[in-house]
Amino acid sequence: MGEPHPIPSGQLDRRGLLFILSSPSGAGKTTLSRMLLAKDEDIKLSVSVTTRAPRPGEVDGVHYHFVSNEKFDAMVEEDDFYEWAHVFDHRYGTPKGLIRTALKEGQDFLFDIDWQGTQQLYQKDQQDVVSVFILPPSLDELRRRLEARAQDSDAVIDDRMDRARAEISHWAEYDYVVINDDVDECFDRVREVLDAERMRRTRQTGLIPFVRELMA
Which residue has its beta carbon closest to ligand 5GP?
117
Shortest separation between residue 103's beta carbon and ligand 5GP, angstroms: 17
| Contact criterion met (CB below 8 Å) for 27 and 135 | yes
The closest of 203, 190, 170 to 17, measured between CA atoms, is: 203
Shortest separation between residue 187's beta carbon and ligand 5GP, angstroms: 18
The closest of 29, 17, 27 to 112, measured between CA atoms, is: 29
Query: Closer to ligand 5GP at the Cβ: 12 or 142?
Result: 142
Shortest separation between residue 94's beta carbon and ligand 5GP, angstroms: 4
Query: Closer to ligand 5GP at the Cβ: 136 or 203?
Result: 136
Q: Which residues bind ligand 5GP (CB under 6 A)?
A: 25, 48, 52, 83, 85, 87, 92-94, 112-114, 116-117
Query: Closer to ligand 5GP at the Cβ: 171 or 210?
Result: 171
Instruction: Identify any residues that bridge with 91 across adjacent strands, giving them in sequence order.
Output: 86
Query: Closer to ligand 5GP at the Cβ: 151 or 205?
Result: 151
Shortest separation between residue 92's beta carbon and ligand 5GP, angstroms: 3
Shortest separation between residue 134's beta carbon and ligand 5GP, angstroms: 11
